[in-house]
Amino acid sequence: MEEVPAAPNEGISLSALRSQFSVNGEEGPKYGFDGNRYHYGDGTSVASQNSTQILTGYDTLDVGPNYDFYANTNAQGRVRRSRPSLFQLHSNIETVWLHPYFPTTTPKEDSYDVEEPQSEPTRFGWVKGVMIRCMLNIWGVILYLRLPWITAQAGIGLTWVIILLSSCITGITGLSTSAIATNGRVKGGGTYFLISRSLGPELGGSIGLIFAFANAVAVAMHTVGFAETVQALMEESGASIVDPINDIRIIGVITVTCLLAISLAGMEWEAKAQVLFFFVILVSFANYIVGTIIPATPQKQAKGFFSYQADIFAENFVPGWRGPEGNFFGMFSIFFPSATGILAGANISGDLKDPTVAIPRGTLMAIFWTTLSYLIIAATIGACMVRDASGVMNDTLAVSSADSCQGLACQYGWDFTNCITNRTCTYGLSNQYQSMSLVSGFAPLITAGIFGATLSSALACLVSAPKVFQCLCKDNLYPVIGFFGKGNGKNDEPIRGYVLAYIIAVCFVLIAELNTIAPIISNFFLCSYALINFSCFHASITNSPGWRPSFRFYSKWMSLLGAVVSVIIMFLLTWWAALIAIGIVIFLLGYVLYKRPSVNWGSSVQAGSYNMALSYCVSLNQVDDHIKNYRPQCLVLTGPPSCRPALVDFVGTFTKNLSLMICGNVVTGGPSPATLDTASSNSHVIWLNKRQIKSFYHGVVANDLRTGVKMLLQGAGLGRIRPNVLLTGFKRDWRKDKPSCIDNYIGILHDAFDLQYGVCVLRMREGLDMFRQAQTHVDPDAMVTEPQPQPSTVFQSQQGKKTIDVYWLFDDGGLTLLLPYLLTRKKRWARCKVRVFVGGDTQRKEEQRKEVMDLISKFRLGFHDVEVLPDINARPQPEHVRRFEDLIGPYRLNTAQKDGHVTAEQLNQDCPWMVSDEEIETNKPKTLRQIRLNEVLQDYSRDAAIIFVTMPVGRRGQCPSALYMAWLETLSRDLRPPVLLVRGNQENVLTFYCQ
């Protein structure tokens, strides 16, 4: 920690700065200096805010840990603080307040004003918000109307197995949910929020949409169950509205409307209604238990109830399969939907006081108590009721029929042999769904329990669906649905979502026939369970440092087992419904993958991708490089990529899906927040992604361009995935620029050669720089750059049947041939014909052509047009020579330098770009060759799509930078097609061997 002396005699007078020195955070001034100590914007001092910090003789900008530094939102009633930046701590205290990064004016007092605290929205604890809600959603119609029948079919033993297996699946899911929910603060959105923030938007979005829809349809399911019970009671009393089917519709619509009114009244009223339903169900349970203890009346005995009997328990312990559904998986498929309510608490995560505590504790306690209640009811009703009974009071056991009596009821004085033989029994566990009403002490209380279970489940689903859907809408993963994301009131209630869920529920209530839809809904819930478990497993195996759940009682392998079992059960329940659910998930997944929304939630998929990339990069270190696996991995000196789109498009064409491309940017200047932001701005990556260029971006800050490029040449890449080819644009303005800039530009090429890089220089007639098109609009408040519409370049269009002319003048290892070959593999260049030009002698022209053809055929490049240029070494035209001399003239030694006023060593050191007569004469053959080669290019390649030319190499110390620059200028000037000057690093990149 760099401290600032408080005393004037320490060398820096802090009192001179006074209140002029202020450090601004994101939300207004946070620190100031009053001459004695630094203070916060709210008036408290640094020392008072950090009791652990001892300031004896020194004041400092540095501060201790604070909650506000890590929070994303403001606390109610006070200004949020932010820590000082590294630049503020590290930079010179005397110059910080003068830097444009900091305002020098004292902020107005009213900038410190704190908003009046708003009323706190309703929040629930783990009992009321999660446990009761989950228990109500798990307890449903199946508990009252199907569990006794399942017990008769599967027997008490296998019924317990079914219950425990279902509870194991929901329990494992509960543990996984608890782990995910405690790995950071959970906001609204429930299941969708948990999955999307763990696995990412692709799977999270798809499961969120179908989960919200499934909950909306589940409202109709539970409501229809309630309406059917009411209609049955009306039918028993002889009452009717229209007819049975329309009565269900009318009652169902009225019920859903009432539930909507409760939901719109607010979460507090909804919670009170749930507590009332919970109390009714508990009373119905107590009524049932009391009924099992009360001695059976003759009327109940005639219907098969005999109180607790060991013989009945023993007989009912084993299975008694009947009908087409009479098997284990048939009973399991009927029972399992009753266990699918464990996410009811998580679905309102945004309305919980502390979701990281409430969700684990409430969900697991709900699973435990509901499992226990299911086990108790299965055991007790199986111990007091026989499977078959006639309900006829006259079917008492006569002495004459004692020997022929069938069934366990014979031991208790009842003879149901006739209905058992004819299979006409209407009572008993196997024949009557209302067995719990028969056993209970007061049957209407069981009916009240059925009402409470169905209405509470419907209400929970009606609240869950809009809450999940609202979070999904706010994330903007899918089009159109954003309209439903708006919240109202202090609880941010999704009113529009409630109305949408109500409309969906009413539509399905009006159908009044949900037998084909119910399996699909169960499969949607199971999809959610599978993905939650997989999320927990995936986050665990990635070993991401960000995976730190405070809930420790989970196992990644148990989570994986839960995911696999959930998928298996989907197909066991209804295979075609499972296929439909999975198909919808895949379709929605594909849509999000195609649209690629700009969200970043730190998902485990990202962590897994990193792990895979890291593993593969490390594994590459164990294998030596081989020519057959050579790829041109390009470091492209683009600056900001948007400034040179043609350069980016050209390199991206032949590196896409093939090799590495890194766009390098050197920002000149000293290290400061401004230069660092410019170098590392994410806007460059956004631009590349919008242009669909598969490239990395690497920006550095350096004192000058050449130093920065050296940093890139030696530091870019990772392991063996690092650049081996430097690609830059041609410096068109070199004659107008400072001579030192020419020397730096040529020095970059020399540095690349020294570091064993291949070097390419791209020149286009219209130039590469697009600064006007690349201008960005900067919002001074948000500091976000918004790139203008992207310009098009010649490399984005179809090239047709033009030619790609390759002048393979010197053997550089084959890079000059490899690059055009890679270009022809792309669709836009596939129809172009490659012509290879080589130098030669007139006498041996055909022989040399055949030799080059044989060599190229062994490389298997598919080039069949080779032409030998015997006149390439002829003398160029005199006017072109004079043009070159005019070009180099300003950089030649003058008379004073020739007379010896300046030594050669001093000249070389101070002006390395200057050209002496000796150097002109030494390099004359190369000079004439470049002039002549330009004439050849003008003759042969005027209409080519692109020209590849082997680039000349200037010997360091013997070829001044101005002369080398003049060679490149002369070689490539006045050519209409783009010209790429290529020089490999003299190492083979092509081979005709198999190994």
| pLDDT tens readout for residues 244-290 | 888 888 988 999 998 888 888 766 777 777 788 888 889 999 999 99
Above 90 in pLDDT, residue 904? no
Lowest mean pLDDT segment, chosen from 184-193, 511-520, 776-785, 849-858: 776-785
Angle between helices 443-474 and 244-264 (to 10 degrees): 60
* Backbone phi, psi, residue 393, to 5°: -65, -25
Which residues, 6+ apart, have CB-to-CB distance to 720 below 8 Å?
Answer: 617, 620, 621, 625
At 469 the pLDDT is 85
At 31 the pLDDT is 40
Separation of alpha carbons 763 and 822, rounded Å = 19
Above 50 in pLDDT, residue 930? yes
Q: Is 694 helix (H, G, I), strand (E, B) or coil?
A: coil
CB distance 985 to 814 below 8 Å? no
231: Cα within 13 Å, side-chain hemisphere: 20
Separation of alpha carbons 77 and 115, rounded Å = 6
Above 70 in pLDDT, residue 619? yes
At 354 the pLDDT is 78
Is the backbone of residue 669 left (phi > 0), alpha (psi -120 to 50) or beta?
left
CB distance 130 to 363 below 8 Å? yes
Above 70 in pLDDT, residue 313? yes
The arithmetic mean of pLDDT across residues 567-595, rounded, is 83
**Farthest-apart Cα atoms in the chain, separation:** 148
Separation of alpha carbons 689 and 684, rounded Å = 9
Band of the pLDDT at 48, cuts 50, 70, 90?
A: very low
At 212 the pLDDT is 84
Separation of alpha carbons 589 and 435, rounded Å = 45
Type of residue at 863: F
CB-count exposure of residue 323 (10 Å: 0-12, 13-18, 19+):
exposed
Nearest CA to 566 among 526, 521, 520? 526
Q: Which two tokens stand for residue 912?
A: 């390395």
At 905 the pLDDT is 56
Cα 783-785-787 angle, rounded to 5 deg = 170
The arithmetic mean of pLDDT across residues 710-715, rounded, is 92
Nearest CA to 716 among 692, 693, 694, 700? 700
Query: Residue 982's CB: how many other CB atoms inside 10 A?
Result: 27
505: Cα within 13 Å, side-chain hemisphere: 32
The arithmetic mean of pLDDT across residues 321-335, rounded, is 80
Type of residue at 65: P
* Backbone phi, psi, residue 74, to 5°: -80, 145
Lowest mean pLDDT segment, chosen from 187-196, 214-223, 467-476, 853-862: 187-196
At 700 the pLDDT is 92
| pLDDT tens readout for residues 948-964 | 999 988 888 788 889 99
- Token look-up 């270009």 returns 823
At 671 the pLDDT is 79
More confident residue, 713 or 226: 713
CB distance 824 to 832 below 8 Å? yes
The arithmetic mean of pLDDT across residues 493-497, rounded, is 83
At 295 the pLDDT is 86
Above 80 in pLDDT, residue 90? no
Above 60 in pLDDT, residue 314? yes
| pLDDT tens readout for residues 885-897 | 999 988 888 644 5
Above 60 in pLDDT, residue 45? no
Above 50 in pLDDT, residue 936? yes
| pLDDT tens readout for residues 200-251 | 777 777 778 877 888 888 888 888 878 877 887 888 777 788 888 888 889 8
At 535 the pLDDT is 82
Task: Provide the β-strand partners of residue 202.
Answer: none
Band of the pLDDT at 459, cuts 50, 70, 90?
A: confident
The arithmetic mean of pLDDT across residues 134-155, rounded, is 84
At 102 the pLDDT is 38
> Measured in whole angstroms, how far is the alpha carbon of residue 114 from the centre of its chain?
36
Q: Which two tokens stand for residue 459?
A: 């209400």
Nearest CA to 273 among 287, 259, 285? 259
Task: State the Cα torsion 843-849-851-853 to the nearest 10°.
Answer: -170
Separation of alpha carbons 423 and 320, rounded Å = 14
The arithmetic mean of pLDDT across residues 825-837, rounded, is 91
* Domains along the chain with CATH numbers: 126-389+425-595 (1.20.1740.10), 639-770+792-796 (3.40.50), 803-893+904-979 (3.40.50)
At 783 the pLDDT is 34
Separation of alpha carbons 78 and 235, rounded Å = 63
Query: Strand 803-807 relative to strand 58-59: parallel, antiparallel, unpaired?
Result: unpaired
Above 60 in pLDDT, residue 970? yes
Band of the pLDDT at 727, cuts 50, 70, 90?
A: very high
At 519 the pLDDT is 65
> Measured in whole angstroms, how far is the alpha carbon of residue 495 from the centre of its chain?
28
Query: Residue 80's CB: how many other CB atoms inside 10 A?
Result: 18
Separation of alpha carbons 588 and 216, rounded Å = 19
At 37 the pLDDT is 40
Band of the pLDDT at 599, cuts 50, 70, 90?
A: low
Lowest mean pLDDT segment, chosen from 74-78, 405-409, 441-445, 648-652: 74-78
| pLDDT tens readout for residues 975-985 | 999 999 999 88
Percent of the chain with pLDDT over 70: 79
At 406 the pLDDT is 78
At 95 the pLDDT is 42
Is the backbone of residue 188 left (phi > 0), alpha (psi -120 to 50) or beta?
beta
At 782 the pLDDT is 33
Query: Residue 777's CB: how many other CB atoms inside 10 A?
Result: 9
CB distance 668 to 705 below 8 Å? yes
Is the backbone of residue 536 left (phi > 0), alpha (psi -120 to 50) or beta?
alpha
Percent of the chain with pLDDT over 90: 19
Band of the pLDDT at 602, cuts 50, 70, 90?
A: low
| Mean model confidence pLDDT for the chain | 78
Query: Residue 105's CB: how many other CB atoms inside 10 A?
Result: 8
